[in-house]
Structure 1
Amino acid sequence: MADASKTTNRVFLWTVGRSLSTVFTKCLSFVDGIQIINEPFNVAHTCGPERLQDDGSRIQAKFEATLNTVLSAVSSSSTGYDVNLSTYDWVKKMLEADYPGKQIVFCKDFAFALRENYDWIPQGYRHTFLIRDPWKMFPSFKKGWVKLFQDSSLKYQELPAQLNPPKHAFGELYELYQYVQDYGLEKDPIIIDADDLQRDPGSILPQYCKAVGIPYSENLLQWEAGAKVIDSWKIASIFMEGNKMEEDEFYDAAFSSTHFLPPGDPPSQDQIDEDLLPLIDKSMGYYDNMYAARIKPE
């Protein structure tokens, strides 16, 4: 195989859940000559042959049942790749593969899905990061799982290990951010904050694109509604089928979007479920350190 890293511009966006990463990825899908790869490590982590399982979780059985429901809906005609292929070694090779006719490969994924095994990081990529205020991220994340599992009594700490990593996603993201600097993978990683992106996309988006070598046009500030764009993504079929489920709300807003909406205010403490407060408290230090190093609106 040729050294594709020398012939193709490759960019990785590492993030946490509910951070506007899908709408950001949808936006970049309209760049000419780009290949989007969506959450391949997350697929391996949650759904693939080497997926993490937590038999002690009250919700684990519901998670497995939901997973099986989606898998049963996947057919030979389904779009996307087979989740059974998704070992970590397969994902790394897929990320490093050649993509004829593509000038840019852009992948977004969750740092916690690496399980702190940095040997799985693919070669040839620029590493960038997207963060979001934990006061916004955790309530949004919990709301989605409460709806999916149809369990209003669900506490965040009851989520299976696949969905609630030991350092609650922000710790894993910050440690990866430090790793890529300490080991020379990225000297000054680009960080964008979701609120900044929503508030001033006309400043943040061109700065990001320029920094990582993605062609920018003001046309990227407005795009088509709907999920048709993901037909061109490299994405697991289980995610494609899961998005069609009526109870799913994780991607609906992103796929129906046509532009970045202004950010809302974070909820006050008395509006936050008590089970989320310790997670927010543990995550704020990681978030604040990365926020201080973010690119700012000009």
Structure 2
Amino acid sequence: MSDSTQATNRVLLWTVNRSLSTVFTKCLSFVDGIQIINEPFNIANCCGPERLRDDGSKMQAIFDAMLAKASTMSSNGYDVSLSSYDWVKKMLEADYPGKQIVFCKDFAFALRERYSLIPEGYHHTFLIRDPRKMYSSAKKLCAKLLQDDSVQYHELPPYLNPPKHAFGELYELYQYVQSHELEKVPIIIDADDLQRHPGSILSQYCEAVGIPYSDDLLEWEAGAGVVDTWQLADILEQANKLEEGGFYDTAFSSTHFFPPSDPPTRDEIDDDLLPVIDKAMVFYDSMYAGRIKP
């Protein structure tokens, strides 16, 4: 590790999908001297040379068609063919001249338990969201991506629904980080807390990981222009612009953190999600108890 790498403050935010992580990342994009890296392990997991596949399924065919369509569009992102797991680790550990902070947001499940590939020199932090909200939102997005409102959650391919349904992988990484002393007391923030008390949660988070905070971070301009400053794969930027994409649209159109909605009741949740949510709540409750409090 070079001297300049050691001098750079590096922060990883590990999370689950549909957790408000993109709007949180957009918010931090306006910190002076910060380099944002967006979901590099997720791209390795679903689109890179070591990607997972579900060949022969209708969902894989639809996903491949969407990616092929996206690949014809222009982008400022890096070539997805580069995204091996080893390449991602090296990219995260690389020097970023002129940047005092490197902030990366990614999904724990995308690491596929390859803990030896966790980059050196990072603070490890975690963002959680009530599983009742998270899985309901994830299924809704997957139905849009796959153009199939009848999709069942257990039918989703492994890059959309990993073996431990994302929350299990997040909890196991959280335990690994502690047990291997990568972070003695990992910072945890809850999405509802962030929405309800953004100033308190964001200021505490920034202080804990060494990111300069000001109340100016609580409001920002609508639009996706800030993405031009991010390090992200071309396919991710392109796919979001498709009609069947749009998974970042709410975050990009945001100007501040909105108050949280109430979680759906069990009667309002699709039956196929209930067993998944019940398992995830055990992990969520355990991490929730150790979260930053408003």
Query: What's 1:238 paired with?
Result: 235
Query: What's 1:16 paired with?
Result: 16
Matched, 1:293 2:290: yes
Task: Tell me the secondary structure at the aligned position of residue 246 of structure 2.
Answer: coil
1:127-176 alpha-carbon deviations (Å, 9 max, x no partner)? 00000000000010110111121111101111111111000000000000
Distance 2:57 2:113 in 1: 22
Q: What pairs with 1:17-36 in structure 2 (closer than 5 Å)?
A: 17-36=17-36
Matched, 1:128 2:122: no
Q: What pairs with 1:24-173 in structure 2 (closer than 5 Å)?
A: 24-55=24-55, 57-71=57-71, 73-75=72-74, 78-173=75-170
How far apart are 1:55 and its partner, in Å?
2.8
The question of whether the paired residues in 1 share the 8 Å contact of 2:66 and 2:239 is answered with no
How far apart are 1:67 and its partner, in Å?
2.0
The question of whether the paired residues in 2 share the 8 Å contact of 1:193 and 1:294 is answered with yes
Distance 2:199 2:175 in 1: 28
1:265 pairs with one of 262, 266, 280: 262
The question of whether the paired residues in 2 share the 8 Å contact of 1:174 and 1:286 is answered with yes
How far apart are 1:56 and its partner, in Å?
6.2
Task: Tell me the secondary structure at the aligned position of residue 250 of structure 2.
Answer: helix
How far apart are 1:57 and its partner, in Å?
4.5
Task: Tell me the secondary structure at the aligned position of residue 238 of structure 1.
Answer: helix
Matched, 1:280 2:277: yes
Task: Tell me the secondary structure at the aligned position of residue 126 of structure 2.
Answer: strand
Q: Which moved more, 1:250-259 or 1:55-64?
A: 55-64
Distance 2:160 2:45 in 1: 9
Distance 2:14 2:205 in 1: 14
Equivalent position amino acid for 1:34 in 2: I
Structure 2, unaligned runs of 5 or more: none
Query: What's 2:253 paired with?
Result: 256
User: Residues 242 and 213 (structure 1 numbering): CA distance in 2 closer, same or farther, change over 3 Å?
Assistant: same
Distance 1:184 1:216 in 2: 26
Q: What pairs with 1:187-198 in structure 2 (closer than 5 Å)?
A: 187-198=184-195
User: Residues 56 and 189 (structure 1 numbering): CA distance in 2 closer, same or farther, change over 3 Å?
Assistant: farther
Equivalent position amino acid for 2:49 in 1: P
Query: What's 2:201 paired with?
Result: 204
The question of whether the paired residues in 1 share the 8 Å contact of 2:63 and 2:145 is answered with no
Distance 2:197 2:157 in 1: 36
Distance 2:157 2:218 in 1: 37
The question of whether the paired residues in 2 share the 8 Å contact of 1:5 and 1:96 is answered with yes
Distance 1:163 1:66 in 2: 15
Distance 2:225 2:41 in 1: 23
1:21-65 alpha-carbon deviations (Å, 9 max, x no partner)? 000000000000000000000000000011011236442222222
The TM-score, its normalising length taken from structure 2, stands at 0.98
1:209-231 alpha-carbon deviations (Å, 9 max, x no partner)? 00000000000000010000010
The TM-score, its normalising length taken from structure 1, stands at 0.96
User: Residues 169 and 4 (structure 1 numbering): CA distance in 2 closer, same or farther, change over 3 Å?
Assistant: farther
Runs of 4+ in 1 over 4 A off after TM superposition: none
Q: What pairs with 1:205-224 in structure 2 (closer than 5 Å)?
A: 205-224=202-221
Distance 1:291 1:85 in 2: 36
Task: Tell me the secondary structure at the aligned position of residue 108 of structure 1.
Answer: strand
Query: What's 2:183 paired with?
Result: 186
Task: Tell me the secondary structure at the aligned position of residue 59 of structure 1.
Answer: helix
What is the percent sequence identity of the aligned residues? Answer: 73
The count of residues paired between Structure 1 and Structure 2 equals: 294
Equivalent position amino acid for 2:173 in 1: L
User: Residues 145 and 13 (structure 1 numbering): CA distance in 2 closer, same or farther, change over 3 Å?
Assistant: same
Distance 1:45 1:140 in 2: 21
